Chain A
Amino acid sequence: MDCKIPAIGIASSNIVHYATGYVQKYQTGMPIRYVSVPFPFTGQPRAVDVGYVTGKDMLTGQPMMTAIVKALTDPLTAEEKVAGSSPEAEAEPRFLDPMSEANLRQLFEDREWTDFNSIVLPTEKLVTEMLKGTSRKPSEMVKTINITGGARELTVEKVAISAVMAGASPEQFPVILALATQAPFGNSTSSMANMVVISGPIRHELKFNCGTNAMGPYNRSNAVVGRAFCLLSKTAGDLRNNVNAWETLGNTMQYNSQCFGENEEALPEGWDPMHVEMGFKPTDNVVSVGTGWSSVASVGASQAIYPTHQLMRDYMSSFCASGSAATIVMDPTVAGLLKGVHGFKTKADLSQWFSENVTKRNDSYWGNGVIQSTAVPFALAGVEPYASWRKLPDDALIKPFTNPKAIHVVVAGGKVQTMWFVTDFGFRRGVKIDDWA
């Protein structure tokens, strides 16, 4: 971009702190001038936002418009004229200074490399042992992490360090490497989280839990692999609280990203495993990562008085439907009911039904901040259906899940109760685990 005009930014103080700190250091290199409005800015009555113009700049305490005019007209400082040569990257040695175990544990917490649960300290011997779980070279690049800037080069060895810290075994390492290609985990002020689904024969080889308590703290592989995703996201992404991790509430699902296996053996006939629906072979071992925010449970067993898929539909209407994304996780008994009693011969049939039957009030759809941020630009550009929806009355009902292929169905659980979760997690295509063996 070659736009040679003075430009300033206006943001609330939390954003300014990030923009003039981490973003300037690792992404833009430009000491952009900012003025700051109080937070929250959006969602306020018109009079409040208008009042900020005659209020104070939160950074300098000057009248807001005085600060804006000064930002546009004040002469450049020496710092603002610095060009070219980038400072040297901050060194990160391969090994840390020798320390006592207690001091190392304190250091790992001080640097925010852990989830603040106890870790296995990554000695060279343990990391070397972990690396035996793959044919990949330690120096091989898995991906460049640039989500919050810094272009950090995530190597196989760095993933192995996080895997050791999480308590993983070398046999689990290819799963964690495949997962690392999707790192870091969701990081947004809106407090995102992830869902990790394991598919294929490896579920049994590594003893992932697909049955009773599949999503609970009752299985080592589910816990450890999911936790490794958290730890490598934090270390590789350099994610630190109030530095470049700005999830206002955070999300407890981030601790192990809801890692579980699909109960493929319990699928009704005609219902394909998740990875097969993504185009993989049934014998492929695949890890899939979804990103979202929310999960709503059936809170009890399915009832004949109100068919299960209709209750799912009702609950789904509370989601924002960003990207038309949803994922329904259901016990095998629910899948059996939906096929046997209600006639959904495939997962795709059920997804199609949701797409056609979930409705939402128009004002409720546009009342969501993520939709405002992502769909309004489409609407203003005339992209349908958003352009037409913007013109509808508030109480008009729209069908926000426009893409049935973005609605995933995963079957897990132990046939203990006919329960389910509807969630707003959207999945990217899975990653073949065997490519990382």
Chain B
Amino acid sequence: MDRRRMLALLGLSPTLVAGSPAYARTSPRPGTEGSSATKDASRELITVMNPAIAGKMATRVPLVPPLDALDNKTIYLVNLSWEGPDAANYFYEAMTEWLQKRYTGVKTVVKVTAEGMFGSDPAIIKDVKASKADAAIVGVAG
């Protein structure tokens, strides 16, 4: 028999009640409880393989303590150049004006990332490690 024809036939065959019960789940799949997937249980049951792959969860990283206040702090305004650097620059200019009117000695430094929206910037990292920045605002994406 032609192999493709055989595959098509086997895909619909009720004789393919295959697979080891030892692997079968005992609880409903997330999202199927009470859905239309559970309304047809009277039909013959078949077992199929799972195409999904388990994802590894990221290790949790805590946030560092926040600032107590913004006075006399240096804040890096990191421009990711998301679809270009102009929009974030406009936003950061206005933000700087707002901050400087309200917080004594606050200093903002706009940094455009060297590697764009998908990369890092070794120079900014170096500055942070050298304690040149007290906090960072990163954006603007969208």
Interface centre among B28, B32, B60, B136 (most CB of A within 10 A): B60
A374 contacts B19, CB within 8 Å? Answer: no
Q: Could you say which residues of chain B place their CB within 8 Å of the CB of A120?
A: 7-8, 11
How many interface residues does chain A have, given as a range? 35 or more
When C-beta atoms are compared, the residue in chain A nearest to B127 turns out to be: A3
Q: Tell me if A9 is interfacial: C-beta within 8 Å of chain B.
A: yes
Are A381 and B55 in contact, CB atoms less than 8 angstroms apart? no
Q: How far is the CA of A11 from the CA of B8 in the complex (A)?
A: 48
Q: Measured between alpha carbons, how far is A92 from B50 in the docked complex, in Å?
A: 7
Cross-interface CB contact of A72 among B56, B135, B140, cutoff 8 Å: B135
B66 touches A76 (CB 8 A): yes
A150-B55 CB under 8 A given contacts A11-B142, A28-B61, A80-B63: yes
B52 contact set on A, CB distance < 8 A: 92, 111, 113, 235, 238
Return the chain B residue nearest A380 by Cβ. B112
Interchain CB contact under 8 A, A7 and B55: no
Residues of B contacting A29 in the complex (Cβ-Cβ under 8 angstroms): 57-61
Query: Quick one: which of B50, B117, B140 contacts A10, CB cutoff 8 A?
Result: B140
B62 and A83 contacting across the interface, CB-CB below 8 Å: yes
Q: How far is the CA of A153 from the CA of B56 in the complex (A)?
A: 9
Contacts of A104 in B (CB 8 A): 46, 48
Contacts A73-B67, A373-B81: A101 and B60 contacting too (C-beta < 8 A)? no
Residue of A nearest to B93 (CB): A50
| Chain A residues closer than 8 Å to B128, beta-carbon distance | 3, 5
Contact check, A31 vs B95: say whether CB atoms are below 8 A apart: no
Instruction: Verify if B16 is at the interface (C-beta below 8 Å from A).
Output: yes
Q: Interface code B75-100, partner A: CB below 8 Å = 1, 0 otherwise?
A: 10000011111110011011100110
Does A90 sit at the interface, judged by CB under 8 A?
A: yes
Q: Which residues of B are found within 8 Å of A376, using beta-carbon distances? A: 81, 84-85, 116
Contact assessment for A122 and B16 in the assembled complex, using a CB-CB cutoff below 8 Å: no
- B141 close to A (CB within 8 Å): yes
Number of A-B residue pairs, CB cutoff 8 Å, is 344
Q: Which of A39-47, A261-269, A274-282, A392-400 contacts B (4 or more CB under 8 A)?
A: A39-47
Question: Which residues of B (6-45) have their CB < 8 Å from a CB of A?
Answer: 7-8, 10-12, 16-20, 23-26, 28-29, 31-32, 35-45
Q: Are B135 and A5 in contact (CB under 8 A)?
A: yes
In the complex, chain A residues whose CB is within 8 Å of the CB of B20: 95
B47: CB under 8 A from chain A? yes
Q: Tell me, yes or no, whether B125 is within 8 Å of chain A by CB.
A: yes
Query: Hey, which chain A residues are within 8 Å of B32, CB to CB?
Result: 103, 106-107, 110
Contact A10 B141 (CB under 8 A): yes
A297 contacts partner chain B, Cβ-Cβ < 8 Å: no
Residue of B nearest to A65 (CB): B98
List A2-27 residues whose CB lies under 8 Å from chain B: 2-15, 24-27
List residues 79-113 of chain A with CB under 8 A from any CB of chain B. Answer: 80-104, 106-108, 110-111, 113
A364: min CB distance to chain B, Å: 14
Q: What per-residue 1/0 map shows which CB atoms of B125-142 lie under 8 Å from chain A? A: 100110001111111111
Residues of chain B whose beta carbon lies under 8 Å from any beta carbon of chain A = 3-4, 7-8, 10-12, 16-20, 23-26, 28-29, 31-32, 35-70, 75, 81-87, 90-91, 93-95, 98-99, 112-120, 125, 128-129, 133-142
Contacts A27-B58, A32-B63, A162-B51 known; list 11 others, CB within 8 Å.
A11-B142, A41-B82, A54-B98, A89-B55, A92-B50, A96-B49, A99-B41, A145-B53, A158-B53, A235-B52, A373-B84
Q: Can you identify 24 A-B contacts, CB atoms within 8 angstroms?
A: A3-B125, A7-B135, A11-B139, A11-B140, A11-B142, A24-B58, A26-B57, A37-B142, A40-B142, A42-B142, A68-B95, A72-B67, A89-B54, A90-B55, A100-B44, A100-B46, A103-B37, A107-B29, A123-B46, A153-B53, A164-B7, A169-B7, A372-B83, A380-B114
